[in-house]
Amino acid sequence: MPKYMLIMRGTDESNAAMMASIEEGIARTRLFIEEMMKAGVLLGAEGLDDPGQGVVVDFSGETPVVTDGPYGETKELFGGFFLLEVASKQEAVEWAKRVPAAPGSKIEVRRVPEEDEVPQDSTVQR
Amino acid sequence: MGTADVEAVWRIESARIVAALTRFTGDFGLAEDAAQEAVAEALVSWPLAAPANPAGWLMATARRRAIDAIRRRTALQDRYALLAADPAVDEEIDPDKIDDDVLALMFISCHPVLSPEARVALTLRVVGGLSSEQIARAFLVPVPTVQARITRAKKTIAAAGVPFELPPAGERRERLGGVLSVLYVIFTEGSTATSGDRLLRPDVAYEAIRLARTLAALQPAEPEVHGLLALCELTAARFPARTGPDGSPILLADQDRRRWDFSAIRRGLAALTKASTRGLGPYGLQAAIAATHASAPSVEATDWDRIVVLYEALGRVAPSPVVELNRAVAVAMASGPAQALAIVDELVASDQLPGSHLLPTVRGELLARLGRRPEARAELELAARLCANQRERSVLLRKAAALG
């Protein structure tokens, strides 16, 4: 069945807004997770730590280069995800609309390809 | 908003809407009709003007339709007055109450007064939020048949005076067993289609898994619910490897285990752990067998002795000829075909699985392994004649032919 990842994309402002009432945010997210569990659609959910605590492994050169960060603008950075198994893209979008996300943030809805869409053994003729 | 958007909202909201309406009207059939009218209205009006709050819109519209219906029944004037005076319908957001409502809906849909077919159709419709068309497609029956089943089921429930409430504690576990068996029937239909030309219908199996997850979230303290969920997840984990590119079945021994869905295996194992708190029941034992397969790198490296023991345990808690036949297969792997043939011959002698293709299939395989080729061939040909699934039948005929 189709799987979709709802990817949370915060901004500095939305992250700050979330941190301002973090306990309420956590409580609302818990309720939302519970709701998705009761609907039988949730496969996984994780939040990510402060991007400043992360590292970036850069493959631009011949050998991977490890740097601290990413620093700077958090726009376009992932803050966490929900992994859902649903009947349709519309259903994934409908769930995305219900995420208790902080104002200003965005949620990206991306399909996880099915096993049979991934190229398999080259001997298999289609 | 298009049809698919309406369907998406409906899938998420249908159980709660039907459940809430049933509680407020005390009439399950009426609640279901009103909910269906609301979704039909949504399909017409949302593409023109999408509501700001689709879930609230559906609930409010369904409630109005329910009131209209009751108003038409003059004999029920008093109930209408009661209902109209109660403003709290759509504001009601007590999560515990909603959970109990949805659970009560599952118990009604799987009520023992209904035929097995009606239970399946009703569960998919009111708890799963599927349309009659979707159910008909899933079970390869005409749409009017599904509609008739649902209509009859609602009348049966009304006639039997089935109350909208959770079964009393004393009956709960037994009734829960009935709910689990309906979900398992749906799953089985999806994992081995009983007819038609496709071996798997993953969409049907997925509906069962989704409903099992819902049940597990609502009844977390019931080990067998987790057992069923584990069984479904672990079985579904093998789907990607079970058919070839042309849809033909691939036997366990020939499956590319790298194609198994390891996330599903992990979820299945986690559910199995939850199922193991007080010793495994029938679903938990079957899940444990599936888990043994799932964690083996190959057929040869599978812990067949453990599987034999698990089938013995299953045979004690839920004896059936199919369990016995599966035990024979495991015994053949653990201790050789001769011992297994003795078990199978006993099943044949007592005519335990009349008309089933499974018995001659296994017997044929065992005879082939014992080098008794003409007998093996005759058994496999018999199995092919009895098999209703075209895909399986062609595999059987191929094997028979290979025996010369």
Domain limits for position A47: 3-114
User: Are residues A88 and B203, on separate chains, in Cβ contact within 8 Å?
Assistant: no
Domain limits for position B27: 3-78
User: Are residues A40 and B217, on separate chains, in Cβ contact within 8 Å?
Assistant: yes
Quick check: ipTM above 0.90?
A: no
The CATH number given to whatever domain includes residue A81 is 3.30.70.1060
* C-alpha span between B251 and B202 (Å, rounded): 17
Residues of chain B contacting residue A95, judged by C-beta atoms under 8 Å apart: 12
Q: Residue B290: inside a domain, yes or no?
A: no
Q: Residue B149: inside a domain, yes or no?
A: yes
pTM: 0.88
Rounded to 5 degrees, what are φ and ψ at A77? -95, 145
B12 CA: distance to closest CA in chain A (Å): 7
With a pLDDT cut of 70, the percent of chain B lying above it is: 93
At which of B19, B50, B78 does a domain end?
Answer: B78
pLDDT at residue B81 in the model:
62
- Residue among B99, B210, B259 minimizing CB distance to A41: B210
Q: Residue A101: inside a domain, yes or no?
A: yes
**Residue A89: how many CA atoms within 13 Å on its side-chain side?**
7
Q: Residue A125: inside a domain, yes or no?
A: no
**Res. B92 pLDDT band, cuts 50 70 90:** low
CA A44 to chain CA centroid, nearest Å? 10
Same domain as B149, residue B22: no
Does the pLDDT at position B194 exceed 70? no
Among residues B345, B274, B279, B332, the alpha carbon closest in space to that of B302 is found at B332
Q: What separation in angstroms does the CA of A89 have from each of A5, A86, B5, B175?
A: 11, 8, 9, 35
The total domain count for chain B is 2
Mean pLDDT of B320-324: 93
Mean pLDDT of B66-78: 76
Regions of chain A short of the pLDDT cut 50: 122-126
Q: Residue A108: inside a domain, yes or no?
A: yes
Does the pLDDT at position B133 exceed 50? yes
Residues of chain A contacting residue B138, judged by C-beta atoms under 8 Å apart: none
Q: What is the DSSP track for B267-284?
A: HHHHHHHHHTTT---HHH
The total domain count for chain A is 1
Same domain as B154, residue B182: yes
Residues B7-42 pLDDT 10s: 999 999 999 999 999 998 889 999 999 999 999 999
pLDDT at residue B289 in the model:
98
Does the pLDDT at position B126 exceed 70? yes
Residue B279 CB contacts under 8 Å (≥ 6 apart), including other chains: none
pLDDT at residue B370 in the model:
95
**Residue B19: how many CA atoms within 13 Å on its side-chain side?**
28
Average pLDDT taken over every residue of chain B: 91
Mean pLDDT of B153-181: 94
Q: Residue B394: inside a domain, yes or no?
A: no
With a pLDDT cut of 90, the percent of chain B lying above it is: 76
At which of B237, B261, B295 does a domain end?
Answer: B237
- E strand or H helix at A10, and its extent? strand A3-10
Least confident of A8-12, A115-119, B228-232, B376-380: A115-119
Does the pLDDT at position B95 exceed 70? yes
Does the pLDDT at position B197 exceed 70? no
Selected residue with higher pLDDT from A93 and B93: A93
Same domain as B197, residue B154: yes
User: Are residues A115 and B259, on separate chains, in Cβ contact within 8 Å?
Assistant: yes
Mean pLDDT of B30-55: 94
Least confident of A76-90, A109-123, B58-72, B153-167: A109-123
Among residues B215, B208, B231, the alpha carbon closest in space to that of B318 is found at B231
Does the pLDDT at position B404 exceed 80? no
Binding-site residues on chain B for chain A (CB distance < 8 A): 2, 4-5, 7-9, 11-12, 95, 99, 102, 202-203, 206, 209-214, 217-218, 240, 245, 256, 259, 261, 263, 267
User: Are residues B8 and A87, on separate chains, in Cβ contact within 8 Å?
Assistant: yes
